[in-house]
Structures are given as structure tokens and as C-alpha cells.
Structure 1
Amino acid sequence: MVDPGDNISRIVSTLEKHQLTVKQIVVTHAHIDHIAGAQRLKQLTGAPILYNQNDLPLVKMMDVQAGWLGIATPDVAPPDASLEDGQTISITGLTGSILHTPGHTEGSVCLYLPKQALLLAGDTLFAGSVGRTDLPGGNTQKLIQSIHESLLTLPDEVTVIPGHGAKTTIGTERDSNPFLQ
């Protein structure tokens, strides 16, 4: 499971419908809309939560993040293990590597599955855009550098699944994303 937001009942329903078991909970970054359901899902499944420890300051200010949205503060905790650049993540039939892409947050990561030509980009890269950097932990220079060094080096045909919005490809973003020119 990647980035369980707040709709855990829908996630559990989908898991049951397809007879799936959660083995790991990967969080691309510790903004509330990506991490809010991780602890609850761990309680229900026993799966460990994995995210980069550089986002612990964001976890410590979860009450502030909840205040921005006017919602209750979710139960969050430090990761069971930190995701580090180059680390391999494997479950049955799938192997991916972690790309540490600081900029949206200090701990932002993407998950690259080379055999599937797929990048789960969190909020680092979007179709025609990049992640915002005006929230705590954001840094525009780091974000653009991370994208150029870690993502635009991937093959053109890699499909990018962002944390929000439409999918795209690395080639399309390299050629036409105005933030990367």
C-alpha cells in the first residue's frame, strides 16, 4: 500500500474485494493527505510503515497540518523503518527501488519499478507541474535538483503516477514541463 490517506474503510473494502493482503505501507512523504491513514491501516493489517526519517519533523507537527485543513489530528508515528535512496522494496512479484527526492519535503521519496516501467512519484512530480515547496520542509532548488538528478534520468517511457492528478511519462515531463526547462 502506498500513501494511505484518510479513507481506510474504502481501502479495506478494496483489499477484501480482491482478496489482497497488505505487506508494507510505503509513505512517500509525511504530509497529512499521504500519511493520515497509515497507523490505522497498520493496526488493521500488522504491516510495517516505511517512510524517510527526514520527515519526522512533519510528523511532530501533525496537529498543525490538521489545523490547516480543519480536521481532527490523525494518529501518526515514526516509521518502522526509514526508506533510503537506493533501497530495494520487494513483495511477491514486484521489486522497486527508493529514490530519495527532497524538495517537496526533506524526506520525499519516489518508488521506481523498472520492470513495470512505473514511477510512483508522490508529490515530487506531476503532469505539467512539480510539488509545492511553500510548506514546512519545502525547498524549490532541492526539488528541481532531485527531479533532474533522480527522475529525468529514467527512460522516457516510464509512466509517472503522481500523488494527485493525471498520470504522465518521464519523456513528456522532460520535453514539456515548464518547471523543468
Structure 2
Amino acid sequence: MIHEILPVGLLQCNCSILGDETSREAIVIDPGDDIPVIQATLQRHGLTVKSILITHAHIDHIAGAHKLKQLTGAPIYYNENDLPLVKMMDVQASWLRMPVPEVAPPDSPLRDGQVISVTGIEGTVLHTPGHTQGSVCLYLPQNSLLIAGDTLFAGSVGRTDLPGGDTRQLIHSIRDRLLTLPDEVKVVPGHGPNTTIGEEREDNPFLQDTYYQ
């Protein structure tokens, strides 16, 4: 599988491009900005976008999705519990002093357990509320890969002080949905370096027993 990670936009959101070497079909996850860079990477690999997946509706993850859809015709998927965040996109834009992007409801909502696939690639949606109420991760067991959005980071977890955040809920989402995965699963967070489930289970200070109460 082709996997390109592109830090995009002001906050360097990790946009993942997942492409199949044979079918040349692709999934783009969190195209928050820098669509020309994303498009150039797709062209370099000869990939056709079939799905655009948003892990959560914060502006740095979703702002470029509509533009990418216009260029590719691919549908946009995200969890409907984040529609309140979409409705306040103007407020989100003011936080970063950036123009208000065009963001529409999802072409199809993401549900827990839903399978997202293109020819040669298949992942399962894990609903992990806490950073936002609609936060999801995409787990690709055949590739030992988890695209974690802003739920889990290397040595940290998603912030919960923005609208829709809930610390207790976030920790339980990670414990119940992510730490049950095999140690060797590679974790691509929404920002910053990659990690593994095993490393975070062992060393992440936010995931010790005192945080589970």
C-alpha cells in the first residue's frame, strides 16, 4: 500500500493518502489545507481519489475537503455528531485568523464499525468521541495501521477544552477502542510524529490508571 503523510496548513495537520499500487484507487484522510500539494502527490503516484474521510470537523482537518471534492468528485465522509462544529466554522476560522472555508454536511455519515474501502484497501471506522463528539479513527488491520486523528498522539492525547470536548470520554475511548488493538499497530496521529499502540500503552502519561477513573 502507498501511504503518504503530508503535514498541511497552519497547524501542520497530518493528511494521509492511502493508495493501492494495483488499482491506483485512493482514500484521502483529513485534507485540511494545501490541496495543490495533495493533488501533486496523488498525480505523482497516479492515484484516483475515491473517498475523502474526515476524522473530526475541526477546521485544520476539514477546511480543504470541499475543494478536493470539487477536483476529484470523491464523496466526503465524517460523523454527524460533529455537525455543530461545522455550523460554527466561522468561529473556528476566527481562532486562526483565516478565511472561512466552505464546509458542507457529509455526503455520507460515518458510523462506528463502518467499513471504508477502495479496491485493495479496507479500513474499519472506530468512533472515539472525546476530542470532539464525532471523532473517529480508521483502523486497517491488514496493514497494522491506525489513522488516529486528534484522539491519540505520541506521548499525549487530544485536547478537550474546545466545544464538544470531554476528557473522561476521551480517555475511555482510547482505553476501550484503541488500547485493545495489537501492540505493533502503527499510529498516525493528527499532528506530530507516528507512534505505536504498544508504545502509548506503556509510556503515555495520560493513559495510566489514574486517568481511567
Q: TM-score, normalized by length of structure 2?
A: 0.84
The aligned counterpart of 1:58 is 85
For 1:80 and 1:58, locate their aligned partners in 2 and report how far apart those are by CA, in whole Å.
16
Corresponding position of 2:58: 31
SS at match of 2:117: strand
Q: Percent identity?
A: 72
CA distance in 1, matches of 2:185, 2:29: 18
User: Residues 32-181 of structure 1: matches in 2 within 5 Å?
Assistant: 32-181=59-208
Alignment length (residue pairs)? 181
Structure 2 letter corresponding to 1:169 = T
1:136, CA displacement in angstroms? 0.5
Q: Which runs of 5+ in 1 are unaligned?
A: none
Deviation at 1:88, TM superposition (A): 0.6
Alpha-carbon shift at residue 92 of structure 1 (Å): 1.4
Offset from partner CA, 1:65-119 (integer Å, 9 cap, x none): 0000000000000000111111111111111100000000000000000000000
Deviation at 1:14, TM superposition (A): 1.2
Alignment root-mean-square deviation, CA: 0.5
How many angstroms does 1:50 deviate by? 0.1
Q: CA–CA distance in 2 between the matches of 1:18 and 1:117?
A: 22
- State the Cα distance separating 1:155 from its structure 2 match: 0.3
- Give the TM-score normalised by the residue count of structure 1: 0.99
Write the letter of the residue equivalent to 1:44.
L
Q: Which letter maps to 1:72? A: P
Within 1, Cα distance between the matches of 2:119 and 2:63? 26
Q: Which has the larger share of strand?
A: 2
Find the aligned partners of 2:32 and 2:93 in 1 and give their Cα distance: 13
SS at match of 1:164: coil
How far apart are the structure 1 equivalents of 2:68 and 2:149?
19
Runs of 4+ aligned residues of structure 1 deviating over 4 Å after TM superposition are none
Offset, 1:16: 1.4
